[in-house]
Amino acid sequence: MQIPQIRLQQTYAQIGLRITQPVQEIQQIPAEQSIKQTPAEMTIERQPSHLEIDQEQAWNELGFKKTSLLCAEMADFSKQEGLEAVAQIAQEGDQLAAIENNTDPFASIAMEKANPGPADFNIAFIPSYGSVKFHYTPTEVHINWKQGGAEIAATPHKPIHNYTPGKTEVYLRQKGQLQIDFVGINVNKHS
């Protein structure tokens, strides 16, 4: 016996997607920057130190005199010695002329010349203290300065941004179908 059957054959519907990817573009223009530097200015005024040493008195005391000074002193000394010699000769002449005094002038003059008096001497520091004179002027430094600076100018730029959004389109790639078959019985298809 044949049992009536219903056969179903189905095809599923399928969808398709058309995808357009999004596009994003970013451009960054660097900022413009200018820097103007004004340097600092510094001036230094300096008066150098000055040292004066006067050691003429010390050299004179040590016997190292200038020729002009040595000549003048020798002239004064010679003049003084000459006057003293003339005075002594005059005194000896007076002694020799005074015969009436019953003295022996030759013996007394010879005694004076043979036994002179003690020499004058003293201890002294040569050169003497303070014979070298100093005068010192210290260095003077004057510093003047003017502060510089910097001028900075910056111009920023915004980024350039272009964006194209993506799209997704859905479409029907395959329609769904259902096929029904009746097997084994004649079915009246007329109503």
Q: 188 and 9 in contact (C-beta within 8 Å)?
A: no
Q: 30 and 140 in contact (C-beta within 8 Å)?
A: no
Per residue of the chain (191 residues), what is the pLDDT tens digit? 567 788 888 889 899 899 999 999 999 999 999 999 989 999 999 999 999 999 888 888 887 888 888 888 889 999 999 999 999 889 888 888 887 777 787 778 888 888 877 877 777 777 888 888 999 999 999 999 898 888 999 999 899 999 999 999 998 888 888 888 877 766 555 54
Q: What is the pLDDT of residue 190?
A: 55
Domain positions in the chain are 1-30+158-191
pTM of the model: 0.37
Pairing of strands 167-174, 50-54: unpaired
For 176, which DSSP code?
-
